[in-house]
Amino acid sequence: MSVPSGVDTLPALGADLTRCSVSGLSSGAFMTVQLHLAHSSMFIGAGVVAGGPYRCVESFPTASAIAEDAWVQNAFFICMNPLIPEAGPKVPRLLEIARQTAADGMIDPLHHLEKARLYIFTGTEDKVVDSAVVETTRAFYVGLGVDPDNILFDDRVPAGHALLTTNPEDSPLGANEPPYLNHWSAPTMQSWQILDHIYGKLTPPEGPPRGRLMAFDQRPFFGDESRASMSRLGYVYVPPQTRKNVRPRVHVALHGCKQGASYVNLVNGLPDKASSPPYGNRYVTTTGYNEIADANDIVVLYPQVEGIDDGRTQNPEGCWDWWGYSSPDAAAPDYYSQHAIQIRAVHAMLQRLGSSA
Amino acid sequence: MPIRKASMMAPARADPDALPAALLRLAKASLPDPAHPLRTPLPFVPVSRWMTSLQLLKHQGASRPEQTMTATLALPTVMFSEAAAREATALGAAVYQQVLGLWADWIDGLTDLGQDMGTLRQVNTVTKYVDEENNLALRGVALLNAQVTAAARLMENVQVNVAWLIGRHVTPPAD
């Protein structure tokens, strides 16, 4: 497994791994919740933009006698687009599942979540993940014992399915289309609001970021297994060392479907390589995470997923796994625990950032 | 395989080795490829297509009877449930809205296509003319494809939601 020229290895920065945070959009938001619960001892908070609750696809396991069909049907029709709110996920069942998962030692004990700070957002014009589902994410965290005062739940902005930015070239606020980055008239990026809520009042950015955005080889972290559906390259933003003897914090920023750096749109079922737009670069460079990180000693990790639809792994749109496509056994899927291949990979990346050179 | 089109940037110069290479590839594609075990050799493509259809039938056969059974078992409970009646009414209204949305997309798509077909453009080459005519035809097919896919998705959405809602009346969750 040779490292291509121009690609770094993920640096060891001695980061403070007790004060990590994570946020994501859509499938990245579902994975945010999974990563948060799996390693809640490391994360002090999370930002969920248009994402549903933990293990949502196991709401209605008897949707089909074939397990993998049931998970996908749950994903589409219960966890994203229930026709009416009553057909959405039910919090008590998902709480029961989460508690059992913790009792089985597959995720960190849930008491770590008590002081967690949550930013949960759903746009009123979101036609991809229904607002009623995102509301259950809030109720789920409250049910787990998170102080409701620590949850900023915003469901009033007429936004489509997108992370919101102040970039004039991004899509109109109500759009539900690639690159799923929409422009809003707020004075700051949504990413700044997420980090501000999680960490408390942060120093506002002054000018463009002065740190270093690095591409790194992700393959050692997932063993180059195709079922992980992870890209060869991930990205990390390392801010300049502004304060001596301060260990940087780490924020994990998870893109949504069709937003990975190597994602190629499908036209008539084939990758449109002739005109593939660099959506992923936009997520890594234009969503504002780097600017706010720059001013506050925060390292931003951008792990990347890519599209695979090869008859074994069904993930053509490059989504993070929240319905079990990466599991070796569909009947006993593991996309949610510390052992899940994607969660294990991101955790290993964090360990590297936390180690000393 | 690149598709040559009327773009100014389309690579047009012919490669003398291209035809032998294509024939060699065709020959190789007729044999099993250990690097792509899921790819069927060309002579067996009809079998592969049949197996894909069979797989869908098998999966549907596993899902639908399960959902129908759940719904049937719940019928006596649901028939006299006020909550179930409310949900059924809301579900009906939601499906109606979705159908209206599909119609709106269909009408919008046809209007766009019709307007583009009726727009006078400058065409200086036969290449561009052929490309534009084909583009219009492909857009028509894409519109039809989008409608059929969306309708199938709505059908599945209704099936899963009805089974899930009815099933919960038999074994209500603890909320």
The shortest CB-CB distance from B66 to any of A64, A82, A87 is to A64
* HSE-CB of A200 using CA atoms within 13 angstroms: 2
Query: How far apart, in whole angstroms, are the C-alpha atoms of residue A316 and residue A310?
Result: 9
Host domain of residue B149: 63-175
Which of residues A355 and B174 earns the better pLDDT score?
Answer: A355
B67 touches chain A (CB under 8 A): yes
* Number of domains forming the structure of chain B: 1
Sign of CA dihedral A264, A268, A270, A274: negative
- Does A308 reside within a domain? no
> What pTM was estimated for this model as a whole?
0.89
Kindly report the nearest CA distance between residue B152 and chain A, in angstroms: 13
- Does A319 reside within a domain? no
For residue A26, pLDDT beyond 70:
yes
Kindly report the nearest CA distance between residue B87 and chain A, in angstroms: 7
- Which residue type sits at A202? L
Name residue, tokens 């997932």.
Answer: A222
pLDDT digits (tens, 9 = 90+) for A47-60: 999 999 999 999 99
B74 touches chain A (CB under 8 A): no
Interface test with A, best of B96, B160, B166 (most A CBs within 10 A): B160
Q: Which two tokens stand for residue A218?
A: 């992700």
Element holding A237 (H helix, E strand): strand A233-238
Share of chain A above pLDDT 70, in %: 96
Cβ–Cβ under 8 Å, residues A40 and A107: yes
For residue A2, pLDDT beyond 70:
no
User: What is the number of other CB atoms lying within 10 angstroms of the CB of residue A24?
Assistant: 28
B28 touches chain A (CB under 8 A): no
Closest to A305 measured CA to CA, from A2, A35, A15, A13: A35
pLDDT digits (tens, 9 = 90+) for A247-263: 999 999 999 999 999 88
- Does B56 reside within a domain? no
- Does B102 reside within a domain? yes
Query: How far apart, in whole angstroms, are the C-alpha atoms of residue A9 and residue A12?
Result: 9
* Number of domains forming the structure of chain A: 1
pLDDT digits (tens, 9 = 90+) for A88-117: 999 999 999 999 999 999 999 999 999 999
B20 touches chain A (CB under 8 A): no
User: What is the number of other CB atoms lying within 10 angstroms of the CB of residue A137?
Assistant: 30
Q: CA angle, A31 as apex, A166 and A237 as ends, to 5°?
A: 50
Peptide bond into B20 cis (omega under 30): no
Q: Which two tokens stand for residue B5?
A: 């089109």
Host domain of residue A188: 20-210+240-250+324-354
- Does B23 reside within a domain? no
A311 to chain B: which residues are within 8 Å by CB? 38
CB within 8 Å: B59 and A69: yes
Q: How many interchain CB pairs under 8 A, A with B?
A: 82
A96 to chain B: which residues are within 8 Å by CB? 174
Which of residues B61 and A316 earns the better pLDDT score?
Answer: A316
For residue B161, pLDDT beyond 70:
yes
**Interface confidence: ipTM more than 0.95:** no
- Does B44 reside within a domain? no
The secondary structure of chain B, three-state, reads: CCCCCCCCCCCCCCCCCHHHHHHHHHHHHCCCCCCCCCCCCHHHHHHHHHHHHHHHHHHHHHHHHHHHHHHHHHHHHHHCCHHHHHHHHHHHHHHHHHHHHHHHHHHHHHHHHHHHHHCCCCCCCHHHHHHHHHHHHHHHHHHHHHHHHHHHHHHHHHHHHHHHHHHHHHCCCCC
Provide mean pLDDT across the span A287-304: 96
- Does B80 reside within a domain? yes
For residue A278, pLDDT beyond 80:
no
- Does B55 reside within a domain? no
- Does B120 reside within a domain? yes
B98 to chain A: which residues are within 8 Å by CB? 83
Nearest CA in chain B to A88: B161
CB within 8 Å: A59 and B157: no
Helical axes A131-143 vs A91-103, angle rounded to 10°: 50
- Which residue type sits at A330? A
Collect all residues with Cβ–Cβ distance below 8 Å to A11 and sequence separation of at least 6. A214, A236, A238, A352, A353, A357
Kindly state the greatest CA–CA separation across chain B: 76
CB within 8 Å: A86 and B87: yes
Kindly report the nearest CA distance between residue B94 and chain A, in angstroms: 6
Collect all residues with Cβ–Cβ distance below 8 Å to B131 and sequence separation of at least 6. B5, B6
For residue B38, pLDDT beyond 90:
no
pLDDT digits (tens, 9 = 90+) for B86-128: 999 999 999 999 999 999 999 999 999 998 888 877 888 888 8
Q: Which two tokens stand for residue B83?
A: 């909550």
Provide mean pLDDT across the span B141-158: 94
- Does A231 reside within a domain? no
Average pLDDT of chain A is 93
Cβ–Cβ under 8 Å, residues B30 and B152: no
Nearest CA in chain A to B92: A83
* HSE-CB of A193 using CA atoms within 13 angstroms: 19
Interface test with B, best of A58, A71, A84, A91 (most B CBs within 10 A): A84
